[in-house]
Copies of this chain bind each other. A is one copy, B any other.
Amino acid sequence: MNELLEALWYILPAYFANASPVIFKGKTPMDFGKSFVDGKRILGDGKTWRGFFGGLFTGVLIGVIQYQIKPDFYGSFSIALKLAFALSFGALLGDLIGSFVKRRIGMERGYPAVGLDQWGFLVSALVLAYPIKTLTTGQVLFLLLVTPFIHWGANVLAYKLKWKSVPW
């Protein structure tokens, strides 16, 4: 497999974990409606338990499917599973940290933070997956370059399919 395609293959669970909460939605917010010391919401209504676990499940499922298709990429099912979990959890954690930062600086739910939305989940996923299986520096830089475009394209698509109310 080409080195760049390999990088996209590697990151797939993170992409799916990051995108799927849009479909799962959910009602109970992860911060249970609570506010932070600054009086603003900790995370906001956009981050739900259902979205979180739905995203985690989806990302891990993608990893299981990927292992069936290309087991030699992972070496063992255990590594494939750990990697998919780390990438998915990392992507969701990065998104939560992003929401936390957005609320602290007074940004409304759903308002785009250019850069944070596209890179935050990716950096977090790459960091958490790093101890399990590592990409080369070139592959990491490639993912940093293409992810904003993929993220933007996926959001426009979700908007056109009416899964999202805003195109970001």
Contacts and interface: CB of A to CB of B under 8 A. Distances in A.
Most B CB within 10 A of own CB, among A105, A136, A137: A137
B145 A127 contact: yes
18 contacts: A98-B115, A102-B114, A105-B112, A105-B114, A113-B115, A114-B115, A114-B116, A115-B115, A115-B119, A115-B120, A116-B116, A123-B144, A126-B141, A126-B144, A127-B141, A130-B138, A137-B139, A140-B141
Interface in A98-121: 98, 101-102, 105, 107, 112-120
A28 interface: no
The number of times this chain is found in the oligomer is 2
A125 to B, nearest CB: 11
Nearest to A145: B127
Nearest to A168: B105
Given A130-B138, A137-B137, A137-B139, 14 more contacts: A101-B114, A102-B114, A115-B117, A115-B118, A116-B116, A119-B119, A119-B123, A123-B141, A123-B145, A126-B144, A127-B144, A134-B138, A136-B137, A137-B140
